């Protein structure tokens, strides 16, 4: 696997930064080269928030991402701000519960994941939406192994919350698998795949 | 003319106006705003005494009271 | 749609929508309380200088529509003294965080109070360094949890009002963000006082202090202020034990004495009358 | 009980790796004041250091912090502070004091964009001269610039060792990118630790600032050990007596200067590749070195004879390394820096006109992109 | 010939004969009073660290035969805190000038008092910056003449004891160089107090302050101290007017509370018992 | 009433001359903290400034002093502070703040021997890099080095004018000898005074950090004038809004840097003689320049082709002047400095190997003797 | 044995011992010392009570009292 | 007149620094090149104190003195410390009331001036001894004119003390003139001239 650049975005409080760390940790467990960076400061507290992960089989020198192979957007504001940074042929994953409108962008595969809905409805905790999203991401992209991701989640979440987070991961994973199959089968509007 | 405006674009759903309105005029909207939160909404305008406590306390400058107290 | 009256005095091209403070934070409330005081005193906007340092509180000045002086962390009072000396016509209001005024800026605080410079210092005491992520400050209570006292805080806090009074401030008061009217009245008094005024405002930082100490969000913190505030007059009759965890509010000092800038300008006059050997 | 050395593999940001490096090196005390982007060092140390049996103090400001660090060091401890350039400003007086009193201490500067308060959350390499020259008069310091969290760990250990060996303030000059990026960090079971040279003679025979012939560094007893140490920021004789005499001043200042400057070659750490046949050498330090590596690898792929050199030791400046490159007379040396062009002045000084030296400054916030550097290489070859 | 008993503890190779303080200066007196306290407490010389900053007072440590820490102007308390943290066995005595402790070092003073660090701070208050030629300091009385207030001083002075007390010092006393025995007793108490002790000594700087204010030489200044000193107990019964120009002497604070270095060391123990996620 | 400009002939020490220069230049406020060897400036100003209708403040320390100076300057006054290198340490943060806010202010550094507290009453030229690079990140300053009380007067006036023109902190870099020696000073009836550029447009049209095409210096309204000035230490846009954007950072920092660096030639002040046919050029600044003149005159008397160059402008460094000398390829450039060799690094950088550059460092306390320099000249020719 | 030593090499003639000796044992010498001042001298040793006030106050460490008080 | 280097020494409180300034000011009034420097700091307060003046008809570059053409010593300590710095063929002037012992030094002309005695006895103010000495110096060396010196004294002493200082100057001047004549006439022991 050559260099893959993932950008996770959303609003403050959604656990976007933690998602990036978990993804990076998983990649590390997979013995891949990985670098994680994120937005900082007061700007990171309120509005748009972002975490970036570069994963590669080779040593990573330049640590930042310029164009994303994969953009995850968990808020409308974040999507609007970052959609332009997706590479041609890249993938966009949105939280279909928090994002309603997808701006025009060609040659991008769009996946919709109802992570917030799943988190609040199936798991009773909206706070784990980010982990649901990670499960989906893992399933949709295969950039990290499931074993590694589970290990990373366990290591990274607050003590006592391991179980619910693992369940969230699994829910996201299954949800995306299903939708993937469905999506592959179903018809695609304007190059998008349905995520719900 | 009495009116309360909530600017959904600015409101962060902190609940301060809702909590401290002495007449319980305000409540949380059930609709998530673009900020991803549930903003304040006017539920019971009639009860409002135009005391402006909501306006004075609002940290987002997102609520505005129209009309003056009679006395 | 009618907009919030604060926005009349607001710079919109600054970071945030409309500002960068967190949801439920007390700082924008104090921002508006300051505006109310300015409005009620009918001050000329072009003669009101807001001064701030670095921190969440420090950013207050950057949204003020008039002249502002966004200075260094902890040092607003020094810069403000210079500005006041050069132009005594200016009404100068300094908003400072507890961290900057009692930590890095401790010396500026005590010296400015001692000299009795005609400034209004509003300290937003949210018990921690908000901007940098909630580390303890010199006003953090013993036992509190902050980013750098995760094992429970072991230091004693300052009583900022006592400190200001000891050093010579001519007007000293403390309120929380909950006590709107008395606080606005104090800001007005502070502005009108010809001398150094120190107004401590206990303020909620829900995102850091409220969360880490399980007090809750901004709204819940304000309820806490409401329940824990005791008027100075009443507090005087209570025991130390009873006062634990309470916020003593009220006016502590309100006196008159020679002001620094005025005394210095008098030396020019004095000197003009003399003649000396060089 | 919690582990002292956190051996194993971790995903750490640079700031965290620095913390673990300090603890592995035997740091007993940390005193610091929060500041972006170094705050995470304080935060982690505020509990980790107690685990390791050390003490964490949050100073009332940066000045207070460094006084506490130096105080602890003079009483025999290994001590450290961490800040950003704004905090270095306030520490300058104490840095000079540490230099003249020859007190070991480690100062981590995670650089952010300035000047002034600047763009606090963004990266820059603006403080490279500040840490060298910001205090009054003449003294020496050591400064090391890591490129990754792993180096944050390794060089923090090294910084403690060098500081104790040479009795000089030793800096870690990281930029925000290095401080904040997370990467794999491998912590070994044990690290090499250097202890301060202690007096060999009994107190009665001890001359506090007398150096043995083979070194410029006198031994350093701690307060309370019975050596009756006279520590002072005044120019002093071998007995520690204040003096305003020229010969004393000359001897003292020369020693303070030479004990590091004369060891520049020994202290030099670099990383390099493809220098042998390089027509263009790209020199950099810190996170920019990573962009350079990407660019040079690409250039080599394209058949362009580019080489790269990453300076890890910034101070004392490794004259010799640049000298060696300049002697080979490449077409050019390219020097990308996240500032208006500072260390490039040293390179120009040493290159002495033997090769063109091209400065590629970016004044903070944004890291050089490999493509930008690559284009510059292509332009020269 | 018998020599002065102070000289037993004296470093002779330092500048001056035997020291560099002016004729009649109070600083060497306080030097000896400190020695007396150390002697009477039978402290081990090798465990007593003298700390000083820059100034005439700052030089005191450089004549002490044991370990000394001649630090930066205004910052002895910071350095001393570090040393105490590293080696709690040390008895640390800091001699500081009024200028350094109340001017440039004001923040160190208030923070060290607040944290309650186990140090003994002896402030030599000679009402001016002696070393640099007698400029006014933050303790110079209004109206006094100094090198930089030749037109009469217009600033208000700090009351150092009040300041120390407000900030949390556990032992606070004031004497003049004239009251030998009570002062030595206070130094002893300060050393023995497990906490921050602040002892202000009003001292004569004849060459600068005495001369410029026409008080006279060292001997005459001591007479002035003798005549103007009022015991705290007596002062409490006197009016503001009556107390003008008087030195209120005595002990102001003598309390116990948690000490900083001890509290920090307890965190190590606490932490040793827990185990945490990294 | 007392005279404002003390026109006439005086025997003044450098510090006194500096005071009269400041008053002649229109200084409205001084805030400073006593420190040898700059204390005399405070002392004289503490009454002289009131004579001139200005205000003297003694800060609680150096930091306090510079905040007061900058505050007054932003409110429209001309303001100054004076200190020595130890005080500069504490001012570094404010220097950076003055730089990013483009606040005119004059900072007098009467250098003493260090490092640390050093030998306070003795001379040195140790702070030459400190005043240029001691604050975080990138900015520019102007620094002028007088050789005599007369120049202390002249250059203090000049410093105010430059500071107001370029809106940068401007330093007088005097050494203790210049500050304390007494010599004849001629004060004219009137001196040329430059006033700060004020806004030409009405407040509604005013963009606080917009520069006109021909200059990099924006106009500067004072607080209270109705222009609603947004003064901030954060990276800012033309409207003064805080920003962390790369383009904004780049534009701002480049402007702060270039507004002085690009004017280096215009800002260059030197004194020189016998350069035309010089086989050896001795370069120096400050009081060392006086020793050099004695030595070069003696050399010429002895038939040795020596020339001398005294740098008056130290920052921005006058590259061009050294360039011109190096082009002539003299046998050597000799550079005596009262430090371990600092500005000589700039000379080496510019000389670029075209001529040998010989550093003659003396690390403080003692001024170079003419004979020592003469001997070095003889050794080369 | 009772004795008061004045070290003329150190004494600065500040007069403090002379002024504050409760028994007026000390006085100024009429002879200028090498320091250019008139040092203290013992004038009336008998009156001395060995109270050591002179010693305790002497800023020059130039006076020393020999002998112990009886009680 | 080519470069003449004068060193005035004594102990703190004698007004040595002021003497140097007055001498320099006088030289300035004589339109000569002149530089005055002095010792500073705590060392200058207590013990030995010094003030140096270089006077020349030409521009003075190097401002300090290495060897003194003229050394004035107003205390034993100062003399002991500085005697070695007198140039061969130079002149030493001592205050014969405060200096008792002159260390061996060849090829130096020694002058004794009872300045302290004159000040205290004739003028009733020991503090003006330095001005008495200046009068003598002027008379013995002629390096500055009397008019200039008088002007300099008037400008430099505290207001209200002009008269006594001018008298002191005159006394010193006359005293040295007398002794000079006497000295020239009388016999010289070991190259010394009697100043009393
Ligand atoms: C010299 C310096 N040190 C540290 C900082 C980092 N800093 C910025 S804001 C801040 C804390 C602010 O806390 P406080 O003053 O209480 O204000 P708040 O954010 O809580 O309103 C710190 C430490 C800085 N800007 N400058
Ligand atoms: C940073 C710094 N600023 C200024 C000085 C100069 N300085 C040395 S001592 C002193 C004043 C001392 O006054 P005080 O502390 O009252 O002590 P005293 O000499 O009166 O005993 C000053 C201003 C310095 N050493 N360092
Ligand atoms: S004005 Fe008063 S009553 Fe009306 S909504 Fe607001 S808080 Fe409630
Ligand atoms: S107080 Fe303001 S921000 Fe909070 S809920 Fe009410 S309207 Fe919204
Ligand atoms: S961090 Fe705290 S103080 Fe700062 S804006 Fe957020 S809530 Fe307010
Ligand atoms: S200047 Fe004052 S404080 Fe300093 S030694 Fe002299 S008399 Fe004492
Ligand atoms: S010991 Fe007492 S009585 Fe005797 S000389 Fe000294 S002060 Fe006087
Ligand atoms: S107190 Fe000491 S110095 Fe003063 S006169 Fe007496 S012996 Fe001499
Ligand atoms: Mg705060
Ligand atoms: Mg003092």
Residue pLDDT, tens place only, E12-32: 999 999 999 999 999 999 999
Contact C135 CB / ligand 1 (< 6 Å): no
Q: Is the CB of E82 less than 8 angstroms away from the CB of D242?
A: no
Q: What is the pLDDT of residue A182?
A: 59
Closest partner residue to F365 among D97, D122, D244, by Cβ? D244
Q: What is the pLDDT of residue G37?
A: 86
In this prediction, residue A41 has a pLDDT band, given cuts at 50, 70 and 90, of low
The answer to whether residue C238 scores a pLDDT higher than 70 is: yes
Per-residue pLDDT tens digits for E178-223: 999 999 999 999 999 999 999 999 999 999 999 999 999 999 999 9
Q: Is the CB of F365 less than 8 angstroms away from the CB of D249?
A: yes
Q: What is the pLDDT of residue A77?
A: 86
Please, which residues bridge with residue E123 across strands? E96, E200
Distant-in-sequence contacts of D160-164, Cβ < 8 A, 24+ apart = D160/D22, D160/D25, D160/D26, D160/D27, D160/D78, D160/D80, D160/D104, D160/D106, D160/D193, D160/D194, D161/D25, D161/D192, D161/D193, D161/D194, D162/D194, D162/D267, D163/D104, D163/D105, D163/D106, D164/D78, D164/D104, D164/D194, D164/D195, D164/D196
In whole angstroms, what is the distance from residue F370 CA to residue F287 CA?
12
Q: What is the pLDDT of residue H105?
A: 81
Beta-sheet pairing, D356-361 with D332-337: parallel
Cα dihedral: E36, E39, E43, E48 (round 10): 40
Q: Does D194 touch chain E (CB under 8 A)?
A: no
- Helices A16-29 and A146-156, interaxial angle, to 10°? 130
CB F144 within 8 A of CB F173: yes
Q: What is the pLDDT of residue B68?
A: 85
Q: Does H47 touch chain E (CB under 8 A)?
A: yes
The answer to whether residue A192 scores a pLDDT higher than 50 is: no
Q: What angle do CA A98, A103, A104 make, to 5 degrees?
A: 150
Pocket test for ligand 1, best of C132, C137, C208 (most atoms within 8 A of CB): C132
Q: Which residue of D has its CA nearest to C149?
A: D46
Kindly state the average pLDDT of the residues E120-127: 98
Q: Using a threshold of 3 CB pairs under 8 A, tell whether chains H and F touch.
A: yes
Q: How many residues does chain G have?
A: 71
Q: What is the pLDDT of residue H42?
A: 60
In this prediction, residue A47 has a pLDDT band, given cuts at 50, 70 and 90, of low
- C5 CA: distance to closest CA in chain E (Å): 40
pTM here is: 0.97
Average pLDDT, chain H: 88
Q: What is the pLDDT of residue D289?
A: 98
Q: What is the pLDDT of residue B71?
A: 56
The answer to whether residue A194 scores a pLDDT higher than 70 is: no
CB D312 within 8 A of CB D269: yes
Q: Is the CB of F121 less than 8 angstroms away from the CB of H40?
A: yes
Distance E129 CA to ligand 2 centre (A): 6
Q: How many residues does chain E have?
A: 278
In whole angstroms, what is the distance from residue E147 CA to residue B62 CA?
57
- CA C125 to the chain's CA centroid: 8
Q: What is the pLDDT of residue C171?
A: 98
Partner chains of H (3+ C-beta pairs under 8 Å): E, F, G
**Which tokens in the block code for residue B53?**
């406590």
Kindly state the average pLDDT of the residues C33-40: 98
Distance F58 CA to ligand 2 centre (A): 13
The answer to whether residue A186 scores a pLDDT higher than 50 is: no
Residue ranges in chain G modelled with pLDDT below 50:
none
CB F69 within 8 A of CB F56: no
The answer to whether residue H182 scores a pLDDT higher than 70 is: no
Q: What is the pLDDT of residue F42?
A: 98
Per-residue pLDDT tens digits for D341-374: 999 999 999 999 999 999 999 999 999 999 999 9
Q: Which residue of E has its CA nearest to H13?
A: E207
In this prediction, residue A105 has a pLDDT band, given cuts at 50, 70 and 90, of confident
- Return the DSSP state at F46: H
Q: Which residue of B has its CA nearest to A48?
A: B35
Contacts of D28 in chain E (CB under 8 A): 86
- Residues around ion ligand 9, judged by CB within 5 A, are C 97-99, 126, 130
Residue ranges in chain F modelled with pLDDT below 50:
1
Contacts of E134 in chain F (CB under 8 A): none
The answer to whether residue H181 scores a pLDDT higher than 80 is: no
Distance G64 CA to ligand 7 centre (A): 10
In this prediction, residue E277 has a pLDDT band, given cuts at 50, 70 and 90, of very low
The answer to whether residue H193 scores a pLDDT higher than 60 is: no
Contact C208 CB / ligand 1 (< 6 Å): no
Q: What is the pLDDT of residue C206?
A: 97
Instruction: Write the CB contacts of H104 (distance below 8 Å, at least 6 apart in sequence).
Output: none
Q: Does F291 touch chain H (CB under 8 A)?
A: yes
Q: Give the mutation candidate from H43, H44, H46 for the E interface (greatest E CB count, under 10 A).
A: H46
Q: What is the pLDDT of residue D64?
A: 98
ipTM of the assembly? 0.97
Q: Does G42 touch chain E (CB under 8 A)?
A: no
Per-residue pLDDT tens digits for C66-85: 999 999 999 999 999 999 99
CB C139 within 8 A of CB C155: no
Per-residue pLDDT tens digits for E250-275: 999 999 999 999 999 999 999 887 75
Per-residue pLDDT tens digits for D203-253: 999 999 999 877 899 999 999 999 999 999 999 999 999 999 999 999 999
**Which tokens in the block code for residue F107?**
């900072």
CB D146 within 8 A of CB D107: no
Count of other CB atoms within 10 angstroms of residue C243? 14
Closest partner residue to A36 among D121, D182, D369, by Cβ? D182
Average pLDDT, chain G: 94
CB A71 within 8 A of CB A92: yes
The answer to whether residue A187 scores a pLDDT higher than 90 is: no
Q: Is the CB of C148 less than 8 angstroms away from the CB of D56?
A: yes
The secondary structure of chain C as a DSSP string is: ----GGGGGB-TTSSSSS-SPPTT-SHHHHHHHHHHHHHHTT--GGGEEEEE-SSTGGGGGGGBSS-EEE--TT-HHHHHHHHHHH-TT-EEEEEEEHHIIIIITHHHHHHHHHHT-S-EEEEEE-SEETTTT-EE-TTPPTT--BTTBTT---SPPP-HHHHHHHHT-SEEEEEETT-HHHHHHHHHHHHHSSS-EEEEEE---IIIIIHHTT--SHHHHHHHHHHHEEEHHHHTTS-HHHHTT-EEEEEEEE-----HHHHHHHHHHHHHH-----
Q: What is the pLDDT of residue E278?
A: 43
Per-residue pLDDT tens digits for H73-129: 999 889 999 999 999 999 999 999 989 899 888 889 999 999 999 999 999 999 999
Q: Is the CB of E114 less than 8 angstroms away from the CB of C156?
A: yes
Q: Mark which residues 88-107 of C lie under 8 Å from F by CB.
A: 89-90, 107
Pocket test for ligand 4, best of B5, B13, B31 (most atoms within 8 A of CB): B13
Q: Which residue of G has its CA nearest to H76?
A: G34
Q: What angle do CA A121, A124, A128 make, to 5 degrees?
A: 100
Burial per residue of D156-181, b for 16 or more beta-carbon CB atoms within 10 angstroms, e otherwise: bbbbbbbbbbbbbbbbbbbbbbbbbb
Per-residue pLDDT tens digits for H65-75: 989 999 999 99
Q: What is the pLDDT of residue H13?
A: 82
Q: Does C99 touch chain B (CB under 8 A)?
A: no
Q: What is the pLDDT of residue F282?
A: 98
CB D250 within 8 A of CB F363: yes
Pocket test for ligand 8, best of G4, G7, G17 (most atoms within 8 A of CB): G17
Contact C105 CB / ligand 1 (< 6 Å): no
Q: What is the pLDDT of residue A193?
A: 41
Nearest CA to ligand 1 atom 16: C99
Whole-Å CA distances, F57 to B63, C263, F30, F49, F183: 47, 11, 6, 10, 28
Q: What is the pLDDT of residue D101?
A: 98
Q: What is the pLDDT of residue A46?
A: 59
User: Of ligand 2's atoms, which has the minimum distance to the CA of residue E137?
Assistant: 16
Per-state percent for chain D, helix, strand, coil, to nearest 5: 40, 25, 40
Q: What is the pLDDT of residue A196?
A: 38
Contact C132 CB / ligand 1 (< 6 Å): yes
The secondary structure of chain A as a DSSP string is: ---EEEEEEEETTS-HHHHHHHHHHHHHHTT-EEEEEE--SHHHHSSEEEEEEEEESSPP-S-S-SSEEEEEE-SHHHHHHHGGGEEEEEEEEEETTT-------SS-EEEEE-HHHIIIIISS-GGGHHHHHHHHHHHHH--S-HHHHHHHHHHHSPTT-HHHHHHHHHHHHHHHHHHHHHHHHS--STTB----
Contacts of F34 in chain E (CB under 8 A): 129, 132-133, 135, 148
In this prediction, residue H188 has a pLDDT band, given cuts at 50, 70 and 90, of very low
The secondary structure of E88-138 as a DSSP string is: TT-EEEEEEEHHIIIIITHHHHHHHHHHT-S-EEEEEE-SEETTTT-EE-T
């Amino acid at each position: 696997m050559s260099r893959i650049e993932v950008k996770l975005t959303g609003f403050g409080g959604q656990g976007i930064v933690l998602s990036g760390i978990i993804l990076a940790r998983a990649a590390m467990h997979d013995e891949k080269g990985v670098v994680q960076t994120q937005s900082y400061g007061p700007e990171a507290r309120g509005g748009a928030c972002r975490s970036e992960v570069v994963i590669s089989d080779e040593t990573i020198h330049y640590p930042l991402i310029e164009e994303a192979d994969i953009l995850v957007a968990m808020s409308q504001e974040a999507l609007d701000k970052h959609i332009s940074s997706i590479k041609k042929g890249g993938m966009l994953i949105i939280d279909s519960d928090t994002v309603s409108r997808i701006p025009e962008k060609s040659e991008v595969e769009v996946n919709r994941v109802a992570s917030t809905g799943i988190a609040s409805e199936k798991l009773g905790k909206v706070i784990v939406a980010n982990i649901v999203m990670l499960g989906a991401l893992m399933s949709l992209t295969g950039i990290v192994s499931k074993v590694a991701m589970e290990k990373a989640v366990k290591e990274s979440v607050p003590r006592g919350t391991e179980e619910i987070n693992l369940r969230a991961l699994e829910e996201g994973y299954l949800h995306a698998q299903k939708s993937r199959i469905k999506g592959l089968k179903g018809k695609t509007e304007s190059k998008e795949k349905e995520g719900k | 003319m009495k009116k309360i405006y909530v600017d959904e674009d600015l409101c962060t759903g902190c609940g301060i106006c809702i909590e401290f309105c002495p007449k319980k005029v305000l409540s949380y909207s059930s609709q998530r705003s673009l900020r991803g939160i549930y903003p304040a909404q006017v539920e019971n305008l009639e009860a409002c005494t135009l005391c402006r406590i909501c306006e004075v306390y609002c940290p987002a400058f997102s609520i505005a009271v129209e009309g003056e107290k009679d006395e | 749609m009618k907009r919030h009256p604060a926005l009349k005095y607001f710079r919109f091209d600054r970071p945030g929508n409309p500002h960068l403070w967190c949801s439920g934070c007390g700082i924008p409330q104090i921002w508006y309380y300051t505006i109310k005081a300015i409005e009620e005193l009918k001050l000329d906007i072009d003669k009101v200088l807001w001064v701030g340092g670095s921190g969440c509180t420090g950013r207050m000045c950057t949204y003020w529509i008039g002249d502002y002086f966004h200075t260094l962390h902890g040092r607003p009072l020094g810069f403000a003294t210079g500005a006041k000396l050069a132009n005594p016509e200016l009404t100068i209001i300094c908003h400072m965080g507890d961290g900057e005024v009692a930590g890095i800026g401790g010396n500026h605080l005590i010296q400015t109070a001692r000299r009795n410079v005609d400034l209004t210092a509003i300290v937003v005491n949210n018990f921690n360094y908000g901007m940098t992520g909630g580390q303890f400050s010199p006003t953090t209570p013993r036992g509190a949890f902050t980013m750098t006292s995760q094992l429970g805080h072991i230091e004693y806090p300052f009583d900022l009002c006592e400190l200001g009074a000891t050093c010579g401030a001519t007007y000293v008061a403390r309120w929380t963000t909950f006590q709107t009217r008395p606080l606005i009245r104090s800001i007005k008094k502070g502005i009108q006082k010809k001398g150094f005024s120190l107004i401590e405002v206990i303020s909620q930082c829900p995102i850091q202090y409220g969360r880490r100490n399980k007090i809750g969000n901004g709204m819940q913190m304000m309820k806490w202020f409401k329940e824990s505030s005791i008027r100075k007059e009443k507090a005087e009759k209570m025991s130390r034990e009873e006062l634990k965890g309470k916020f003593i509010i009220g006016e502590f000092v309100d006196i008159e004495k020679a002001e620094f800038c005025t005394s210095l300008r008098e030396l020019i006059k004095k000197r003009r009358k003399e003649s000396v050997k060089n | 009980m919690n582990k002292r050395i956190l051996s194993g593999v971790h995903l750490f940001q640079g700031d965290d790796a620095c913390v673990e490096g300090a603890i592995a090196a035997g740091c007993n005390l940390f005193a610091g004041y929060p500041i972006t982007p170094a705050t995470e060092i304080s935060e982690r140390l505020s509990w980790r250091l107690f685990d390791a049996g050390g003490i964490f103090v949050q100073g009332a400001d940066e000045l207070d912090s460094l006084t506490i660090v130096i105080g602890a060091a003079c009483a025999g401890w290994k001590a450290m502070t961490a800040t950003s350039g704004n905090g270095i400003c306030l520490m300058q007086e104490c840095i000079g004091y540490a230099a003249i009193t020859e007190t070991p201490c480690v100062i981590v500067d995670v650089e952010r964009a300035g000047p002034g308060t600047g763009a606090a959350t963004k990266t820059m390499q603006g403080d490279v001269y500040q840490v060298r020259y910001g205090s009054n008069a003449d003294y020496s310091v050591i400064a090391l610039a890591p490129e990754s969290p792993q180096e944050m760990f390794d060089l923090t250990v090294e910084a403690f060792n060098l500081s104790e060996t040479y009795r000089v303030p030793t800096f870690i000059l990281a930029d925000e990118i290095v401080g904040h990026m997370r990467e794999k960090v491998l912590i070994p079971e044990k690290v090499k630790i250097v202890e301060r040279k202690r007096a060999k003679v009994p107190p009665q025979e001890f001359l506090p600032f007398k150096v043995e012939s083979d070194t410029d560094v006198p031994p350093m007893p701690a307060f309370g050990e019975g050596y009756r140490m006279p520590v002072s920021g005044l120019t002093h004789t071998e007995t520690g007596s204040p003096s305003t005499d020229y010969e004393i001043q000359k001897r003292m200042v020369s020693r303070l200067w030479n004990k590091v400057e004369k060891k520049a070659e020994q202290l030099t750490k670099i990383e390099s590749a493809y220098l042998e046949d390089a027509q263009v050498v790209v020199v950099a330090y810190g996170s920019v070195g990573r962009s350079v590596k990407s660019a040079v690898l690409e250039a080599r792929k394209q058949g362009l004879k580019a080489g790269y050199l990453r300076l890890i030791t910034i101070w004392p400046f490794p004259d010799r390394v640049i000298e060696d490159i300049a002697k080979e007379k490449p077409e050019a040396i390219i020097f990308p820096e996240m500032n208006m062009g500072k260390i490039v002045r040293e390179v120009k000084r040493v290159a002495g006109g033997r090769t063109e030296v091209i400065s590629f400054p970016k004044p903070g916030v944004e890291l050089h992109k490999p493509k930008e550097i690559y284009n510059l290489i292509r332009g020269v070859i």
